[in-house]
Structure formats: structure tokens, C-alpha cells
Structure 1
């Protein structure tokens, strides 16, 4: 039996399969691909983010299978949505986890506040050392301390973070007709505001415990799997 493709698009931190530890088992039922976005490599030096390249990676992962389901986290949701705009014919469903789709809600209060907090840091990012930028980013975005051992991997991660473009610059649009789930952790007004906007435009909205990574919780994983399975069943009924 032909397995439907499910493509996973990571956010800012871990990437590839390591970004989706609870979803590895979906490979038993689906043709699961765990992507690495542009500039995310375990060995090579990080590069400036390139949203167009990320969109190309997502689209290419769907073309050879004739389409599939995309599950994206945080900044990865930007390239996933833009891929849906570019090739809606390939997008069987779209799951957005804590999506950093700030350009959709640019005029709303939580997004406006977040941008006012983060934009001054983005403006001086090329003047800061990687570790200093990472420390200040975590303080402003998550009210947390950036922590971890001083290893080559940690240093690459800090540099990669500093090289990411502001998420509010992406020219995002809603794609009518693509079944969409938005999953948040219920901890941060910014992501709830974005989720509310997406819900108002037709998305299914769900909340699961887990902070910024609700996909790692039992409920979050169940919600993702159930949504994809429901879309698969619905598409199968339509085809038959």
C-alpha cells in the first residue's frame, strides 16, 4: 500500500529528525521526511537564512510524491505557508505548531508588542557576538536564559540564531482550501493571537501543554497524528 508523504519542517533550535522526537513513529504509517532548512547543518558553518530557499526545499519534498502533508514548527511555519501559497496543489494538509507567522497579525496587540521588543535587537544583530545575541534573544523572546555547554555545536547554534531574518518580514497569505491545524502551547499571547487569526480564517485550533514545543507532549503528538489521519481518510473517501 502506498504511504502518503508527511514532511516535517523544524524551527530555530534542533533540526531534521531530532526536532520531532515524538513523531518518529509516524514513519511506520507514512512516508515521513524530516527536513533541514537552509543553513542548518550539523557540521558546516551556518549561513544567513533564506526563506526562498526554504520554500524550495519544502516544495521539492512534495513534488516527487505528488503532494503530501506538511507539519511545521515556529519559523518553519513561514516557509510551509509560503510553499502552500506557491503550490497549493501539493499541499494535502498543513499543521502549524506555534507558528511564527507574525506578518499575518502585524496590526494586532501581542504581535505589535513582540515586534517592538525584538526589532531593536534584530537591528543590531550584526554588531553583536553570537553568544551575546543568543543570550539577549532568549531573555526577550522567552524570559529565559540561554544555557548549555560551550561546544562547537552550541557555538554554531548561537551563530545560526543570529543569522535568522526577522519573522515579520515574510509576505504570508492564507491558502483557501488547504485543511489547516494550528497547535499552540497556551503559554504565550503572541502565538495564541496568531492561532486565533488562523482559526478565524478557517483553521482548526488546538492547545496542548508543552510550552513552545507542544508537539513533544502526549496530547500534542496525538492531535497532530489525528489531524493528519482524518485528512487522509477524508481524501480517500473523496477519491473512492
Structure 2
């Protein structure tokens, strides 16, 4: 029997299978694909964000249809794919979705943009390392470690090249079963989740900060949701 397709779409940090360490075991039950978005190739020069290319990557990965599991900025291309091809998406899991273009006028999103926009405005005058340091300080209120390897330096450059998520051409996904998992640590993500609940999504808070999928509770939530929307086996 052919296994159902399960496509994982990473955020702006780790990519491919490295972004989903707790979900590797799902490969025993599903045909799992751990994507690399546009510009996220190990050892290759990073590229600027291309939302349309990311959407194409996700649609191609779905094949004849499957489930999407996303984290942070990965939710953008997955939602774009689901809007364009809802027939291919059996379920959609958005973990801490950075869908700021949907909530641009709401308080937490507006405050986040006011805080971070000046950094994007002057990023061309900053080194990759300086941009990374300031971004982490502003968003996570902590200090980033200085890149010590060539891959870490590429990661810092990749971060500087990413478009702010509020520029994404997003719309509401029609009729696709959707679960949002947030960590309950940041009002921005709770605001986005509340907005999507009004459109028909389900929202659950789990421990784990920005990565609740790494906790047993978060992992169980996404596994149960996917299983509930899997094709019944005769």
C-alpha cells in the first residue's frame, strides 16, 4: 500500500530534515519529504526570498496530494500553495506561522513591524553578522552567537537576504482542515492564530516557545491532526 505524502516546510533557520528532528520517525508511517525552500541549500550561496518559487516547490512536493506541516515563515509558501491548489492539501499544520501580511493592521503585528522594519530598511549597510545579531536581539531578546563556520556564515547571510514576512502575498485558505500550534510566548503569533481561527482553523497552545513541535505535546498534536485527516484504510 502506498504511504500518504507528508511535506514539511521549514522556517528561516534550519532547513530540510534538520528542521524537524522530532518528526523523523513519521517516515515509518508516511512518505515524508523535508523540503529546502528557495535559497536554502547546504554549501550553496544563499539567495533572496522568492515567495512564488517557494510556492512552486511546495506544490511540486505534494505530488497527487498530501499533508503540509510548516514552521514560522514556511507557513507562507504552504498557505500560498493551499490557496492555489486546495485539492492537493488534505490537512495543513501551521506551527508559529509568520503570516504577518494577514494581520498587518492588528496591534501586535503593527508593533512588531514598527520594531523590526528599521532593521530591514538599513540591512544593505550592515554585515551579515551585524544583521543577525540585531535581528535576534530585537525578536528574541537575546544575543546570537557569532558565526564560527562557513555554513554558519552562510546562514547569517541567508537571514539578511530574507524578505520581511509582511510582504508576502497571502490570502485565506479555502476549505482546508487547518491546525495552528503556538508556543504561547509571543503575542504576535497568538494574534495571527486568533485571526486564522476566525477563518475556520483550530488553534492549540503547546510548550516549547518558538518550536513547540520539538516537545512531546506539540509533536503529538500534529501527529493526531494528520492522522485524523488521513485517507481511511480499508
Give the structure-2-normalised TM-score: 0.98
Q: Contact between 2:83 and 2:174, CA under 8 Å: does it hold in 1?
A: no
Please give the per-residue CA displacement for 1:183-227, whole angstroms capped at 9, x wherever unaligned.
001100000000111111111101111010000001000001000
- Give the deviation of 1:236 after TM superposition: 2.6
**Residue 72 (structure 2) aligned to one of 71, 74, 78:** 74
Question: In structure 2, what is the equivalent of residue 46 of structure 1?
Answer: 46
Following the alignment from structure 1 to structure 2, what is the Cα–Cα distance between the partners of residues 220 and 209?
7
The one of 154, 166, 188 equivalent to 2:152 is: 154
Q: Distance in 1 between matches of 2:138 and 2:146?
A: 18
Q: 1:219 aligns with which of 207, 214, 217?
A: 217
Aligned residue number for residue 200 of structure 1: 198
| Residue matched to 2:59 | 59
Partner Cα distance (1:2, 1:151) in 2: 41
Counterpart for residue 190 of structure 1:
188
Question: How do 1:66-215 and structure 2 match up within 5 A?
Answer: 66-215=64-213
Q: Considering only aligned residues, what root-mean-square deviation do their CA atoms show, in Å?
A: 1.1
Helix, strand or coil at the partner of 2:105: coil
Give distance in 2, aligned partners of 1:175 and 1:137. Answer: 30
Alpha-carbon distance in 2 for matches of 1:92, 1:110: 31
Tell me, yes or no, if structure 1 residue 18 matches structure 2 residue 18: yes
- TM-fit CA distance, 1:74: 0.5
Q: Which residue is 1:236 aligned to? A: 232
Does the aligned pair in 1 maintain the 2:67–2:226 contact within 8 Å? yes
Please identify which structure carries the higher helix content: 1
Count the aligned residue pairs: 234
**TM-score, structure 1 normalization:** 0.95
Equivalents in 1 of 2:169, 2:53: separation in Å? 15
- What corresponds to 1:31 in structure 2? 31
- Whole-Å separation in 2 of the counterparts to 1:2 and 1:199: 33
Runs of 4+ that moved beyond 2 A: none
**Distance in 2, Cα, partners of 1:103 & 1:194:** 10
Report deviation, 1:149: 4.8
Q: Distance in 1 between matches of 2:147 and 2:12?
A: 18
Q: Deviations over 1:70-126 (max 9, x none)?
A: 001011000000001111111111100000000111111000000001111111111
List per-residue Cα deviations over 1:119-160 (Å, max 9, x = no partner).
111111111100000000001111111115511011001000
